[in-house]
């Protein structure tokens, strides 16, 4: 009678079975089942479809750009649960050599994508995100900040222009007082100005509040008083620009003010935000507090100003030393 398995004699079949049972009894791992997770290029459209609604239009364009130019070429052809830390590190180091900042951004997108895959049940229980623990490239401080002397000249020019009715100059002054982005100031309406804060309905990082100090509150009160009564309605812009609410209107005035204040030609409007952050740090504010004031989504973004805290720390050390020394002499 023929054996049920023609290719394996009964004795050898029993021997193989016994050996397999012995291996399992000894604690040897059974072969892993082949991966059934989707390939990266198949998972990405699902991720975009389910998460794309949470991006702003500009953010979604940025996401798609990094996926198309960097992530797809690097990880297409791999099942998402087989992407290893070595794969990610090799790709990240090569990309960092070309564009450190871009590599940071793409690494964050990849980590978020794989994290979502785990939450959606595509990864095994013992899976660990290969992006976790990879140190991002140190952010370089891009731009400059105004010194106290430059701020004084800048303020003098702005005051003269504001007195002459230049709304764009008032907007620039507002930027120096709050650290807001230009787009946030342009879109600001009087209904967003509360007694002690601004309630930004939309910003680069979503809705947020901006605390207002006494000086800024007084500035906004004076500015509102100087406006025509019809321009003070809740839905009217705080800074109604001649020619419409366009960035180009502000930039044209910025170029004139920059020249009149004898500021460097390389200085940008966004450097007013850098100046706000830099002087906050140098005056002794913490990174956490400054991060909240700027509306950064991650405190690591504020970390680029950390080196400026050295002056504040030195001054604090000297104050403490003086106090202790006086106590010893008493």
Domains in the chain: boundaries: 40-119, 148-313
Reported as a pLDDT band with limits 50, 70 and 90, residue 294 is low
Torsion of CA 3, 4, 9, 12, to 10 degrees: -140
The whole-model pTM stands at 0.55
In this model, does residue 312 exceed pLDDT 60?
A: no
Q: What is the pLDDT of residues 35-52, one digit of tens each?
A: 889 999 999 999 999 998
* Spatial separation of the C-alpha atoms in residues 108 and 11, rounded to whole Å: 57
CATH class of 148-313: mainly alpha
Q: Which range, 24-33, 154-163, 273-282, is most confident?
A: 154-163
């Amino acid at each position: 009678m023929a054996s049920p398995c023609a290719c394996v004699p009964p004795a050898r079949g029993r021997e193989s079975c016994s050996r397999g049972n012995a291996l399992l009894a000894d604690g040897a791992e059974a072969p892993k089942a082949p991966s059934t997770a989707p390939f990266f290029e198949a998972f990405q459209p699902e991720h975009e479809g389910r998460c794309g609604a949470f991006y702003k239009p500009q953010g979604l364009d940025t996401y798609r750009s990094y996926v198309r130019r960097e992530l797809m070429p690097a990880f297409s052809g791999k099942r998402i649960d087989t992407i290893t830390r070595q794969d990610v590190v090799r790709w990240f180091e090569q990309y960092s050599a070309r564009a450190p900042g871009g590599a940071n951004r793409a690494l964050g997108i990849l980590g978020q994508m794989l994290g979502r895959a785990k939450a959606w049940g595509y990864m095994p229980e013992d899976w660990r995100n290969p992006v976790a623990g990879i140190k991002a490239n140190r952010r370089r401080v891009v731009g400059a900040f105004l010194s106290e002397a430059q701020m004084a000249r800048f303020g003098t020019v702005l005051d003269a222009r504001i007195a002459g009715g230049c709304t764009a100059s008032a907007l620039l002054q507002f930027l120096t007082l709050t650290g807001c982005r230009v787009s946030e100031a342009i879109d600001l309406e009087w209904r967003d100005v509360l007694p002690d804060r601004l309630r930004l309905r939309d910003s680069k990082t979503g809705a947020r509040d901006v605390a207002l100090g006494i000086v800024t509150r007084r500035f906004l009160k004076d500015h509102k008083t100087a406006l025509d009564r019809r321009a003070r309605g809740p839905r009217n812009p705080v800074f109604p620009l001649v020619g419409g609410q366009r960035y180009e209107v502000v930039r044209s005035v910025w170029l004139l003010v920059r020249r009149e204040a004898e500021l460097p030609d390389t200085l940008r409007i966004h450097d007013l935000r850098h100046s706000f952050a830099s002087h906050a740090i140098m005056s002794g504010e913490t990174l956490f507090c400054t991060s909240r004031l700027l509306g950064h989504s991650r405190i690591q973004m504020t970390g680029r100003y950390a080196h400026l805290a050295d002056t504040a720390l030195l001054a604090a050390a000297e104050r403490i030393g003086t106090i202790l020394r006086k106590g010893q002499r008493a």
